[in-house]
Amino acid sequence: MATKRNLIETFREMLRERNADSTYTNQFLYSILSEHAKWLIRREVSAGRIYVNNSIFQTLSCVDVIEVSTIDECCPIKTNCKIYRTKNKLPDMWIDNSGPVLKSVSSVDGSTDFFYTNATTWQSKRNDPYNRMSNMKYTFFSDNYLWFPEHNPHKVNIYGFFQDDLALLERTCEDCEDTKPCVRFLDTAFTLPEWLEAEMLSKSLQEIAGITKKLPEDVEINKNEKRKG
């Protein structure tokens, strides 16, 4: 995968070729690229091309799960049963129309898999007498946490399509001083499948070209109006 810096520089070169404009900040160009990456990934998930590519998924290991109050305002369901969630919010993941792109959630020893669903579907299943005897265990995503109704796994492994390299996110500044220099944000991987990079750049260029094209046209219209007056 290319780094964020590599893709921004490629994008900047494309802009220079189109309109000689290189005044945009890295932050602005990255935001444009990210917005187009989001819809491209949604499309690829719908087409079934994301989940078959294991190389883009990462495992967040040994994530602590804690019990929380069912009356907590962040709790996504109303239930008299116990509910649990990840202790901390999860790193950002790419999103499809159903939520974060998750391949699996399991107990650390691999003995239990948690079926990923949403809060509404889980409550419907729980209220269905034909499903009450099922041994299926569920998880759902809300407010950047994973929630586990009724069953406490204590620790889980999460195999998902994360937006950044987990190895870098888990390193502390102290770790960096003891081992090697911390990597700058722009020098980390842009976790987009390589086959989408060219299309993302092309669509981003079209958006910028559309923005910069509007001003000359508007100025010309104003000049014409003055001549008419």
- 3-class SS letters over 101-160: CEEEEEECCCCCECEEECHHHHHHHHHCCCCCCCCCCEEEEECCEEEEECCCCCEEEEEE
Residue 167 domain-assigned? no
What's the domain range around 25?
4-51+193-228
pLDDT digits (tens, 9 = 90+) for 110-131: 899 999 988 788 777 777 666 6
Q: Which residue has the higher pLDDT, 25 or 69?
A: 25
Q: Which of 160, 176, 202 lies at the terminal end of a domain, its last residue?
A: 160
pTM over the 0.85 mark: no
Residues 149 and 112 occupy one common structural domain: yes
Listed in order, strand segments (DSSP E) in the chain are 58-68, 83-86, 95-96, 99-100, 102-107, 115-117, 138-142, 145-149, 155-160
Residue 223 domain-assigned? yes
- pLDDT of 212: 56
The whole-angstrom separation of Cα 220 and Cα 88 is 54
Residues 76 and 41 occupy one common structural domain: no
Residues 68 and 139 occupy one common structural domain: yes
Residue 165 domain-assigned? no
Q: Is the pLDDT of residue 149 over 90?
A: no
Tally of domains within the chain: 2
- pLDDT of 151: 86
Q: Is the pLDDT of residue 227 over 50?
A: no
Per-residue confidence at 181, pLDDT binned at 50, 70, 90?
low
Q: Which of 135, 160, 185 lies at the terminal end of a domain, its last residue?
A: 160
Give the β-pairing of 95-96 and 102-107. Answer: unpaired
Provide Rg for the chain, Cα atoms. Answer: 23
Q: Which of 118, 143, 160 lies at the terminal end of a domain, its last residue?
A: 160
Computed over every residue of the chain, the mean pLDDT equals 82
